């Protein structure tokens, strides 16, 4: 297909009988240039609807103005919100983003990295997959001199900027809240422990129990493989225990939704018989029955800050390693609202 001939700097130069360098200088108002020539160039450029060829620019300047983003999955509302933040911040600075999904697979994540590096992105923002354990691919990015920023799911041992929420505190507070509502046997559905977040949330949960003089019962800790299919299974397992929980701290709101569903099907009442609290404050949580208490993580803000840090590093052109912790917020609703007896 014939792309309607795009106008280049050459066309302008030819029409004006001057050299391309002059045109370039007029357009970029770089060096000294005769105001009159500049005027003429600008006018003609406007008239011809000249658009600089970004590829040529990239080649010349060795920068693409694209930042790569790798997230586990787009359909996860947390990440799609974060992308919003990244995009807004990036576009403010004249950058575009190229998003890849790892589908929670370490292998695909590795391919994503390759793809982005090959596309010569100016930097990479990533939230790692559940499977990710090796530092190698990330070290490779750093070694190539490509700025790298982690958000939410970080690899803590690497010296790069990181943005995350106060997972420990969030879990501590959520658990404490359940305890204050009178729960004493609180189950925790944990994510895979290779994730830094999961480890700290678990610790926050445990420390809250300890600080309230409650025992830590391993029986009440579920290590979820996170496939939605087994929520019903482990919920039933918990409820079938000789000494079942009177509170559940779910892995996220989707999990909590299904947990509540299972609990209700068994004829138990929420929050009277058992309290449930989620994580991430999903869209539907205000409308469930009962409405679901949750922890709100400012996803958009995490993404925005991640982009901010990345752009800072790109600009400064030297590695920084700033760690930012963004506060979360406990959202209290009916699933944990009960009168303490």
Report the interface residues with a second copy, using CB under 8 A: 1-4, 51-56, 58-59, 62, 64, 66, 73-75, 77, 80-81, 83-84, 87, 91, 96-101, 115, 117-120, 143-147, 254, 257-258, 260-261, 264, 282-284, 287-289, 317-319
**Is 277 within 8 Å of 256 (Cβ atoms)?**
yes
**Is 265 within 8 Å of 238 (Cβ atoms)?**
no
Q: Which of 43, 47, 52, 319 binds DNA (CB under 7 A)?
A: 52
Cβ neighbors of 38 (< 8 A, separation 6 or more) are 26, 29
Smallest separation (angstroms) from a second copy to the CB of 3: 4
User: Does residue 30 touch DNA according to CB under 7 A?
Assistant: yes
**Is 335 within 8 Å of 271 (Cβ atoms)?**
yes
**Partner touching 318 among a second copy, DNA, none, CB below 5 to 8 Å by kind:** a second copy
Paired strand residues for 96: 66
Between 165 and 285, whose beta carbon lies closer to a second copy?
Answer: 285
Picking from 230, 282, 283, the residue whose alpha carbon sits closest to that of residue 259 is 230
Residue with tokens 């204050």: 180
Residue with tokens 């390759």: 114
Question: How many residues line the site for DNA (CB under 7 A)?
Answer: 33
**Partner touching 184 among a second copy, DNA, none, CB below 5 to 8 Å by kind:** none
Smallest separation (angstroms) from a second copy to the CB of 212: 31
What is the sign, positive or negative, of the torsion defined by CA atoms of 324, 333, 275, 212? positive
Instruction: Give the DSSP letter string of 103-155.
Output: TT-HHHHHHHHHHHHHTT-SEEEE---SS----HHHHHHHHTT--EEEESS--
- b/e map 283-307, b = 16+ CB within 10 Å: eebeebebbbbbbbbbbbbbbbbbb
Between 24 and 194, whose beta carbon lies closer to DNA?
Answer: 24
Between 56 and 74, whose beta carbon lies closer to DNA?
Answer: 56
Smallest separation (angstroms) from DNA to the CB of 146: 15
User: Does residue 321 touch DNA according to CB under 7 A?
Assistant: no
Cα–Cα distance between 160 and 141 in angstroms, integer? 11
Smallest separation (angstroms) from DNA to the CB of 62: 7
**Partner touching 1 among DNA, a second copy, none, CB below 5 to 8 Å by kind:** a second copy
Cα–Cα distance between 125 and 144 in angstroms, integer? 15
Cα–Cα distance between 94 and 302 in angstroms, integer? 20
Between 172 and 279, whose beta carbon lies closer to a second copy?
Answer: 279
**Is 234 within 8 Å of 256 (Cβ atoms)?**
no
Smallest separation (angstroms) from DNA to the CB of 52: 5
Query: Contact letters (x/-) for DNA, 60-99, by CB under 7 A?
Result: xxx-------------------------------------
User: Does residue 56 touch DNA according to CB under 7 A?
Assistant: yes
Smallest separation (angstroms) from a second copy to the CB of 221: 24
**Is 204 within 8 Å of 238 (Cβ atoms)?**
no
**Partner touching 225 among a second copy, DNA, none, CB below 5 to 8 Å by kind:** none
Q: Which of 39, 43, 57, 107 binds DNA (CB under 7 A)?
A: 57
Binding site for DNA (CB under 7 A): 6, 8-10, 17-22, 24-25, 27-28, 30-38, 50-53, 56-57, 59-62
């Amino acid at each position: 297909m014939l792309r309607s001939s795009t106008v280049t700097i050459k066309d302008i130069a030819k029409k004006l009988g001057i050299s391309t360098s002059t045109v370039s200088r007029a357009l970029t108002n770089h060096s000294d240039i005769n105001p009159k020539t500049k005027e003429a160039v600008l006018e003609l450029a406007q008239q011809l609807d000249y658009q600089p060829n970004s590829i040529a620019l990239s080649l010349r300047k060795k920068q693409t103005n694209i930042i790569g983003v790798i997230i586990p999955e787009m359909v996860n509302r947390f990440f799609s919100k974060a992308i919003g933040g990244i995009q807004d911040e990036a576009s403010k600075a004249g950058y575009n983003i190229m998003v890849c999904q790892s589908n929670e697979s370490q292998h695909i994540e590795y391919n994503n990295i390759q793809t982005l590096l090959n596309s010569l992105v100016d930097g990479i923002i990533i939230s790692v997959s559940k499977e990710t354990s090796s530092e190698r691919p990330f070290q490779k990015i750093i070694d190539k001199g490509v700025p790298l920023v982690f958000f939410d799911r970080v690899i803590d041992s690497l010296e790069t900027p990181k943005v995350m929420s106060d997972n420990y505190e969030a879990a501590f507070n959520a658990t404490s809240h359940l305890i204050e509502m009178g729960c004493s046997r609180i189950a925790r559905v944990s994510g895979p422990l290779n994730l830094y977040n999961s480890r700290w949330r678990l610790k926050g949960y445990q420390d809250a129990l300890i600080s309230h003089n409650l025992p830590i019962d391993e029986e009440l800790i579920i290590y979820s493989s996170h496939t939605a299919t087994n929520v019903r299974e482990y919920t039933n397992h918990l409820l079938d225990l000789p000494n079942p929980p009177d509170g559940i701290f779910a892995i996220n709101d989707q999990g909590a939704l299904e947990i509540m569903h299972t609990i209700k099907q068994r004829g138990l009442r929420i929050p009277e018989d058992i309290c449930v609290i989620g994580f991430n404050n999903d869209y539907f949580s205000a409308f469930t029955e009962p409405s679901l208490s949750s922890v709100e993580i400012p996803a958009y803000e995490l993404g925005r800050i991640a982009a901010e840090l990345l752009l800072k590093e790109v600009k400064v052109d030297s590695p920084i390693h700033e760690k930012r912790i963004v506060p979360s917020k406990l959202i209290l609703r009916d699933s944990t609202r009960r009168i303490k007896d």
